[in-house]
Amino acid sequence: MALRARATARERGPSPEVARVLLMEDDVTARLALQAILQASGYAVDSAASAAEAMEKLERQQYALVLCGGEAGDECRRVINHARAQEYKPATAHFTASGGEGKRPKSGKMLIEPQDVPALLTKIADLLADRAAGRERRNMRRRRLEPVAAAR
């Protein structure tokens, strides 16, 4: 039976590319829970417990989305700024599980409370869609600016 399942998977061809997410959360329980939710939803997830670890991962791997959470606002800002400085421009977001008033980032880009898992996953999908649309707009602008090769 296991052989049949493997053969069927091979016959289907290559699997679709999944979005790679970097999750930085200092609280181990929240990090593991969010990582499990994202992986169960089909995302490839790398996690980091600190800003230094997250920035190191950003240097080694490209991510479609960088999620940063917890009460470490300064560390989140450092990670998000570092992610936004990457040439490939990943989508970024800061989230909180507590909805802690007064601890929201200045950018105003705050995800919803993760207890509402379907809404969280919808927000993540929207962030990835916005990133893809922005990438396509940049590519279209580049193509318009490139000189057109003379027809022979």
Q: Which residues contact 41 (CB under 8 A, 6 or more apart)?
A: 121
pLDDT digits (tens, 9 = 90+) for 102-111: 444 444 454 5
What pLDDT does residue 26 have? Answer: 87
All domains of the chain in start order, with CATH: 17-145 (3.40.50.2300)
Task: Locate 124 and state its tokens.
Answer: 């993540």
**By the 8 A CB rule, do 38 and 25 touch?**
no
**By the 8 A CB rule, do 101 and 135 touch?**
no
More confident residue, 142 or 81: 81
What pLDDT does residue 118 have? Answer: 79
Torsion angle of alpha carbons 105, 124, 133, 82, nearest 10°?
A: 40
What pLDDT does residue 72 have? Answer: 65
CA distances from 56 to 13, 22, 46, 49, 83 (A): 33, 11, 12, 12, 11
What pLDDT does residue 60 have? Answer: 95
Q: What is the mean pLDDT of residues 67-95?
A: 88
Whole-model pTM over 0.85: no
**By the 8 A CB rule, do 57 and 22 touch?**
yes
- Name which of 92, 113, 95, 114 is nearest 104 in CA terms: 95
**Per-chain mean pLDDT for the chain:** 77
More confident residue, 5 or 46: 46
pLDDT digits (tens, 9 = 90+) for 26-36: 888 888 988 99
Helix, strand, or coil (residue 72): coil
What pLDDT does residue 48 have? Answer: 95
Does 38 score more than 80 pLDDT?
Answer: yes
Percent of the chain topping pLDDT 70: 70
